Structure 1
């Protein structure tokens, strides 16, 4: 029988001690845990003195209105479909295809997820392998030698530094996910606002064109009256000014429409020459807001 060397025996005892102490040190993490600060929320609105038993509040409840319950973690979904406009739906869905700001937010989120995976990898052993192939020959004999050299290492997270790094990277990934959702929602809201402005311009353009035709008829009548001697020259000039003023307003509205269509093209990542929105009016009116119920954002 042979006696094991004393140095090897000491190394084994040290390794066994570290493995036994690892579960005890698992709870030893550097720094305190994050605690979300508390914010006191009032039970009632200060402005207006609205109470749940007030007539305005009761009337709003009967009409289907209720207090908002915001939840930032909930997906907003296809919220723009309440307008029931196929053109608006088509434009907003193009945001996920070619919008550059959204692509950047997606890339940042993917990078954050990769950093989380990289930080988690530090908890596991690292194994490195290097194959080696040599071939020798003498005369008619050829010999091939294949060798695989490997090295493994594992650093124990005794004081929780790696775990804190994982928590930090996970929090940053959550932040990037929220930024991605906010970017998408902001772009969608901007497209919806610009689109409704285009629809308003279409409705206003129609009214102005009708007014131009009406004022042209008034101008013709005034010119006939002036030719008959029953109207002054100043009346003709006034009628001409009215026609030209409305025509100038119509031109300004057309330019405004072009600007907002170009803005929509930029938001969906397309050249303005490739984006066209057919002329149409605003199909629906916004609902009336009950008086006395403040908005809860």
Structure 2
């Protein structure tokens, strides 16, 4: 006969269980951040870039509202709207909250679980059931109990599962920050493209006014018998072609305005931006050493946290080979009537440890271990790719800034020369020593050169925006460490 465990014996077992829990080990490999393909310097920063310089170790890197370096109050206002109302940010914050809840759920498995159970049933048994001897019976069953269960994490299965969930939470916080940075850069980029469209519209408006005057003058010369009808046709062709360009520029501006509205979570029909002057000079910003990207890029930090989560999951897979020790206790009251339901004789209880160990699994545990190691290798490869992509983005935009500065200078010089050519062609035409074809050719070339210069200026300031984004904007690793704390307040700001 098995004797029940007394309450005193249970008390004596408690310190032993706590000692066993304290000695729990982890079967995950010792984690080390994967080696990153570091470079000493950016290749494209070897040559000076106008408005950009390599930062010193104690540089004042942009923090927080990085777009403030562009000194545009309207952009500041739009960025504030983005932070409060972007649907993309709201969705990303919801994903972060899901990861936060999963991390807390995983942490709860380390602690004892207590549940209550109560019920009242009335049942009748079959008279012909085995053992009833042809007699049926009807009775009540009233019960109320508390059950305690606790898995003792001797081999770190639960602990590693919690660590993996915590690292995934940190990765989710990094994903949120990366999306936020990407949306901020996209808003700034579209904003400056729209301002470039404003400048293009203004340029085309001025050109159309000049071409209308030229057409009127040409018609008068034709009426006076000085000019040929072909001159009038050429003047009309130039005017109407420019009007078509103006319509295309207005369409581009309208679409950019609509895209900004959607970024801000506003219906395009309820959003408008008044035209404003385009300031096409990028601000003075310092670049940093390549190694700083590991601290300032949220996508790199997020990828590294997923490597850490995969490493912890290897420990979970390794622990599956070992026994699971648990402790359970149940106590309550059971009776057939309410009058004696909670009397002392109606009490019952049980208490004791249990162990479950795998014996035959058909290779499932081996497959789980191989899968966890392959997932780790995949996360390491993704981390290295993320680092390399970050370097590429910085190098691309450093090169763009340098070469676009040369392109702007060349286009502006070409535009100035083309304007002089237009002036001289008009003089020659008025003097009767040149055809109107020469005038329209120089006008077309001048307008094209001016538009090329404006386009290069827009692309140059966009490269400046993308370089700030590629350098991590105002983000730093300390924000991830705070946001990924499942037990504390979230550092990830919720959109309104």
Tell whether the 8 Å contact from 2:187 to 2:260 is kept in structure 1 after alignment: yes
Ranges in structure 1 where 5+ consecutive residues have no aligned partner: 51-55, 133-146
Counterpart-to-counterpart distance in 2, 1:287 and 1:31: 48
Tell whether the 8 Å contact from 2:218 to 2:231 is kept in structure 1 after alignment: yes
* CA RMSD, 1 decimal: 3.4
Is the aligned partner of 1:219 residue 2:215?
yes
Counterpart-to-counterpart distance in 1, 2:165 and 2:38: 31
1:194-205 alignment, distance < 5 Å: 194-205=190-201
TM-score, normalised via structure 2 length: 0.47
TM-score, normalised via structure 1 length: 0.76
Q: Secondary structure at the match of 1:33?
A: coil
Q: Secondary structure at the match of 2:151?
A: coil
Moved more, 236-245 or 34-43: 34-43
Moved more, 260-269 or 28-37: 28-37
Tell whether the 8 Å contact from 2:83 to 2:89 is kept in structure 1 after alignment: yes
1:63-104 deviation digits (Å, cap 9, x = unpaired): 8822488xxxx9952112223333222222222333222111
Of the three residues 50, 63, 82, the one matched with 1:95 is 82
Q: Secondary structure at the match of 1:150?
A: strand
1:107 corresponding residue in structure 2 = 94
Of the three residues 258, 262, 268, the one matched with 1:262 is 258
Counterpart-to-counterpart distance in 2, 1:182 and 1:47: 24
Counterpart-to-counterpart distance in 1, 2:239 and 2:4: 109
1:273-284 alignment, distance < 5 Å: 273-283=269-279
* Distance 1:78-1:287 versus aligned 2 partners, 3 A rule: closer
Deviation at 1:161, TM superposition (A): 0.8
Moved more, 217-226 or 30-39: 30-39
Is the aligned partner of 1:66 residue 2:65?
no
Of the three residues 191, 199, 202, the one matched with 1:206 is 202
Tell whether the 8 Å contact from 2:112 to 2:149 is kept in structure 1 after alignment: yes
1:38 corresponding residue in structure 2 = 35
1:12-91 alignment, distance < 5 Å: 16-23=15-22, 25-26=23-24, 28-44=25-41, 50=46, 65-67=53-55, 76-91=63-78
Counterpart-to-counterpart distance in 2, 1:119 and 1:184: 27
Counterpart-to-counterpart distance in 2, 1:205 and 1:6: 91
The count of corresponding residues between Structure 1 and Structure 2 is 262
1:109-258 alignment, distance < 5 Å: 109-129=96-116, 149-258=145-254
1:9-43 deviation digits (Å, cap 9, x = unpaired): 876766554443333x32x1122133212235343
Deviation at 1:121, TM superposition (A): 1.3
Deviation at 1:289, TM superposition (A): 9.7
* Distance 1:45-1:77 versus aligned 2 partners, 3 A rule: closer
Counterpart-to-counterpart distance in 2, 1:183 and 1:68: 28
Q: Secondary structure at the match of 1:65?
A: strand
Counterpart-to-counterpart distance in 2, 1:189 and 1:64: 18
Tell whether the 8 Å contact from 2:222 to 2:228 is kept in structure 1 after alignment: yes
Q: Larger relative contact order (C-alpha < 8 A, sep ≥ 6)? A: 2
Q: Secondary structure at the match of 1:77?
A: coil
Q: Secondary structure at the match of 1:241?
A: helix
* Distance 1:189-1:68 versus aligned 2 partners, 3 A rule: farther
* Distance 1:178-1:150 versus aligned 2 partners, 3 A rule: same
1:143 corresponding residue in structure 2 = none
Tell whether the 8 Å contact from 2:52 to 2:285 is kept in structure 1 after alignment: no
